[in-house]
Amino acid sequence: MSFHDLLMQNYIASWDKQVTFANWLKEHGNPNWGFDMGDGQLTFGSILALDSQLLGTESTSSQTWLWAWANKQSNIPPNLLEAAEELRAYGEQQHIHELMDAQLSLDETIHGHHICVVASALLDADFYYRGPYDGGALFLLVKDERCPTRVVNTPEHIVTVITEFAASVQTDNLRLLVTHYLQGCGLTISQVDEVLTGKFADGSWVDVIFNTHGRLGQVKANIKPRG
């Protein structure tokens, strides 16, 4: 399993969590963010405080990613490094250098968002947050029962996610990303010509119809009556 494989498998699901939380923030006036390294609290104004883990930082000058566990100069408390250390251990076990090398060069194929997409999926987080500062940004992973947003993969939600993702993100791998997304939602996958179908255990299903160029044509759901 490569880092790229992990990214492809989890891209849409992690994107969904990010958009869901971003929409919540917008509905609440987009309050300013803050982070206290003393207690690991990620705050949004006075309306929300969540436990977070520090994954790493991006530098705009050196164009590098530095894992938090390798950032000795910042004296990060060990309890805020648990997620990064868990990812490091997974990387060592699976021989994924992006998760185990202390520093990575940033380019269009790997950057902080890509790393956090994978981290969010592997650690079943609620979302991740990019906090910009002069010269770069820090990336925090949130997994807290107080999180106000939760993704529920109903047929209706899946239709919305695929439709909005295809309209928002340019990719040459849409069919692959959608296939992995439907599988990650626990659906049984089948394909006939340009129609990709994901079937729920209750018999409901979602059809994702591509055109001949691999672009999204239509997404529709057939929903079994709910008692």
Q: Is the pLDDT of residue 225 over 80?
A: no
CB 198 within 8 A of CB 189: yes
pLDDT of residue 108: 84
Q: What is the mean pLDDT of the segment spanning 27-49?
A: 96
Q: How confident is the model at residue 214 (pLDDT cuts 50, 70, 90)?
A: confident
CB 40 within 8 A of CB 82: no
Q: What is the mean pLDDT of the segment spanning 4-25?
A: 97
pLDDT of residue 227: 58
End-to-end CA distance of the chain: 41
Which H helix or E strand runs over 57? strand 48-59
Tens of pLDDT along 100-133? 999 999 998 899 999 999 999 999 999 999 999 9
CB 94 within 8 A of CB 78: no
Q: What is the mean pLDDT of the segment spanning 185-204?
A: 95
pLDDT of residue 226: 64
Q: How confident is the model at residue 1 (pLDDT cuts 50, 70, 90)?
A: confident
Distance CA 14, CA 20 (A): 10
Give the DSSP letter of residue 204. Answer: -
Task: Take residue 10 and report the two structure tokens written for it.
Answer: 């989890």
- DSSP, collapsed to helix, strand or coil, labels residue 139 as strand
Tens of pLDDT along 125-180? 999 999 999 999 999 999 999 999 999 999 999 999 999 999 999 998 999 999 99
pLDDT of residue 109: 85
Q: Which pTM does this prediction carry? A: 0.93
